Copies of this chain bind each other. A is one copy, B any other.
């Protein structure tokens, strides 16, 4: 059988792009999970973990698993998948760890089944994984992970996803090792917001989109302001205000909470600044005494990469 195995690189993503809560996300160039996926002649999904996260290997309880099970529904019922997962994006870090698994599984299934899913179907497929992970079918990590670059989720029902061009920006991400549950981060949000804040927010969103289209870094910088979600959620992240203030002082265009946290991301125009921002972040969390990881990377233009390859013999 042709194309019966592949390797997928599934990058981390930043959802809730500051003012773009629930609608804007971007793909990172790194870190990324590595998954080996193989089409097999049995209608089952078999999962093997190559990492130490101890994620469930029951396909019904595994983010990649439920996506592959869903993909199997589009086959003649005689085939299934074996998957070996080397997760490098720490679960719970807020940079789309579960979306990486879901999007990677959708991309692999599509490749191995002969490109039977179009762009939106791949997104829909991957959203089954996010539903398992987060309880809701959202696409703000899935879409940038699958498509790369910056993506706009204009609407979920019906699905309306758009790619937004973006400058070659550097991204510095710090993951302070504190637990912020997505469900908690959702629960503390107000269900009603002042109209005047909402207007400010959508002015910034329109400014941010315009800045991306016009390659206007200053405009991007001054539009990266969130008056609705960040003031509430940032309380859950120790050191947040200091990271933001000092990152900007170090030259970052701006940034904020990645997804629902605890990771914080900052955009910079060049690597030198992104490195300075990384140093600032490190210093702050060393000062507070919180374990942390810092990544300096770029916006990932491509998103998930599918590479034809042999399935490893270890499974």
A84 interfacial by beta-carbon distance below 8 Å: no
Contact residues in B for A205 (Cβ distance below 8 Å): 202, 205-206
Segment among A20-28, A38-46, A234-242, A285-293 that sits at the interface with chain B: A20-28
Contact residues in B for A193 (Cβ distance below 8 Å): 192-195, 198
Render A181-213 as a binary contact track against B, CB cut-off 8 A, 1 for contact: 000000001111111101111111111011001
Report Cα–Cα, A12/B222, bound state, in Å. 30
Nearest B-chain residue to A21, judged by Cβ: B199
Render A7-51 as a binary contact track against B, CB cut-off 8 A, 1 for contact: 000000000000111111000000000000000000000000000
Interface size for chain A: under 10, 10 to 19, 20 to 34, or 35 or more residues? 35 or more
A102 interfacial by beta-carbon distance below 8 Å: no
A153 interfacial by beta-carbon distance below 8 Å: yes
A191 to chain B, nearest CB (A): 6
Q: Contact check, A24 vs B206: say whether CB atoms are below 8 A apart.
A: yes
Report Cα–Cα, A194/B164, bound state, in Å. 27
A152 interfacial by beta-carbon distance below 8 Å: yes
Q: Contact check, A210 vs B22: say whether CB atoms are below 8 A apart.
A: no
A220 to chain B, nearest CB (A): 12
Add 20 more A-B contacts to A152-B210, A154-B207 (CB < 8 A): A22-B199, A22-B203, A23-B203, A152-B206, A153-B203, A154-B204, A155-B200, A162-B207, A164-B210, A192-B192, A192-B193, A193-B193, A193-B198, A195-B228, A198-B198, A198-B202, A201-B202, A202-B205, A206-B209, A209-B213
17 CB contacts below 8 A, A to B, read: A21-B199, A22-B203, A23-B203, A153-B203, A154-B219, A155-B207, A162-B207, A162-B210, A164-B210, A191-B195, A192-B192, A192-B193, A192-B194, A195-B228, A206-B209, A209-B213, A210-B213
